[in-house]
Amino acid sequence: MAEFKFKYLTLQSIRCITHSSGAGNDDVYFRVLSDWDKSWKWIPRDPGLQNSWDIDEDSNIQLQPKSKLQNGNEVEGKILAFIFDKHIRVEIWDYDSISGDDYLGGHDFYYTDHSGGKTFSSVSENSEYYIEYKITDVTIIV
């Protein structure tokens, strides 16, 4: 029998402390790069569909398993859990149809990290977001 150990990073909530310097609310989405599959995931934005969460200052959005948006709609979504081995990068972006998307901050999570919360910020966009997350151990025996 072989034993494989890895981690799950689950994004649980996002809170806007200060939205970006652009006009109106931020249209937030995540970009996630895991060492497990080595390809960027865009959550919830689909490059073809341009989905995002509309979020304003002092808004708090629970990301599991449904997300309540400011306009009262709910997003049925996949649980935002990502597998990784030693490293995973999470970035927050603001969708902008005119001038290109704005980077709102990012963080690198490592195998030794524990559940908690992190502040994501961007000096150039004058934005600040707080993300609550959970990191869990997973073991598979085959």
Residue 40 clears pLDDT 50, i.e. is over it:
yes
Tokens of 28: 């937030």
User: For residue 135, what pLDDT band results from cuts at 50, 70 and 90?
Assistant: very high
CATH class of 3-141: mainly beta
Place of tokens 């001038």: 99
pLDDT at position 89 is: 94
Average pLDDT, the chain: 77
**What is the distance, to the nearest Å, from the Cα of residue 2 to the centroid of all Cα atoms in its chain?**
32
C-alpha to C-alpha distance for 14 and 5, rounded to whole angstroms: 28
Report which residue type is found at 75.
V
User: For residue 17, what pLDDT band results from cuts at 50, 70 and 90?
Assistant: confident
pLDDT at position 77 is: 46
The answer to whether the predicted template modeling score (pTM) of the entire model surpasses 0.75 is yes
pLDDT tens sequence across 75-96:
444 467 888 999 999 999 888 8
C-alpha to C-alpha distance for 92 and 77, rounded to whole angstroms: 18
- Higher pLDDT, residue 41 or 63: 41
Can you tell me whether residue 26 is helix, strand or coil? strand
Question: How far from each other are the two terminal CA atoms of the chain, in whole angstroms?
Answer: 5
Mean pLDDT, residues 17-35 taken together: 81
Mean pLDDT, residues 88-110 taken together: 89
- Higher pLDDT, residue 111 or 22: 111
Q: What is the DSSP string of 54-120?
A: EE-TT-EEE-SSEEE-TTS-EEE----EEEESSEEEEEEEE--TTT--EEEEEEEEETT--SEEEEE
